[in-house]
Amino acid sequence: MKNLILVFAISAFSFSILSFTGSENIPIAPKSGGENTFVIPTDVQNIIDNSCYGCHNSESSSTKGKMKLNFDKLADLKVSKQVGKLMKISKVVKKGNMPPEKFLKKYPENALSQEETDKLTSWADGLTKELSGE
Amino acid sequence: MKKVIYIIVAILIIIQFIPANLPEISSDNPNDLLTNNPDISEDIAQILRASCYDCHSNETYYPWYSYFAPISFLVSRDTKVGREELNFSDWESYKKTEKAGALDGISDLIAEGEMPMKIYTIIHRDDALSESEIEIMVNWADEFAESLFE
């Protein structure tokens, strides 16, 4: 619990600093300050921004994409849902089902490298463990 | 024309000899979702059994036509993949995180109309989910997941 508060405080603090700087590099996901806010490390955040966030955000034109996973709302979800989403992220990325082929045809430079895949999935797996206490 | 029909019939006869390897049926499943969770309401249990269990449990019901190629090939593949993705007969052996992942998937795929699969409901018309059944299932999956983390 203490950890969560600390994490929340740190993320709120860093977010407010970033907002002040008015920089373009404001962490995009998850920006809503839900109860279970967690810090996404910058390197993972960059991967998400490059290869996932385009469809998985509140303004996305992909109804299905944002319904199944919306990084803007990830922090607001119940912990059970967060774990569900993280499990899915890890699974589909490991399987190579995401990002989808259609997206990669248009934006081949946004494909995940092996290193990025590993970083993203170990983040998701680690956070799954942390949130579920397993 | 006659020749074409002969060829098709011959092919249909020949493919009957290719084993379809339909996944085995077992009614003895100590880790089954429904037997271990009597709190699940009868409505939901019925929907699960009718619309999900054929592919997502060991209690598959194979109608007579599912033994004939090429239908048997499709049924075999879908049942195999279905059980690999989620097998309600093994539910109690899943970790909490796996259950949460499965329930989130159930919620999303049913809400999006991706499950049950079209190819299944075309044949099993009565097992397609109505709007109200979809709502019931989505709410159930979300609440069940939440209860695991309380």
Domain ranges of chain A: 2-132
Confidence of residue A31 (pLDDT cuts 50, 70, 90): very low
A-side interface with B, Cβ within 8 Å? 64, 67-68, 78-81, 83-85, 87-88, 91, 128-129, 132, 134
Residue pairs between chains A and B whose CB atoms are closer than 8 Å? 55
Q: Cβ of A88 and B104 within 8 Å?
A: yes
Q: By CB neighbour count within 10 A (0-12 exposed, 13-18 middle, 19+ buried), where does A104 fall?
A: middle
Q: By CB neighbour count within 10 A (0-12 exposed, 13-18 middle, 19+ buried), where does B13 fall?
A: exposed
pLDDT of residue B150: 85
What 3-state class would DSSP assign to B22? coil
Mean pLDDT in residue range B116-141: 94
pLDDT of residue A37: 65
Q: Cβ of B100 and A68 within 8 Å?
A: no
**pLDDT over 60 at A32, yes or no:** no
Q: Cβ of A79 and B148 within 8 Å?
A: no
CA A95 to chain centre: 18
> A134 vs chain B: nearest CA distance in angstroms?
8
What is the overall mean pLDDT for chain A?
Answer: 80
CA distances from B54 to A113, B49, B68, B80, B137 (A): 38, 7, 17, 11, 17
Residues from chain B contacting residue A78 (CB–CB below 8 Å): 142, 145-146, 149
**pLDDT over 50 at A55, yes or no:** yes
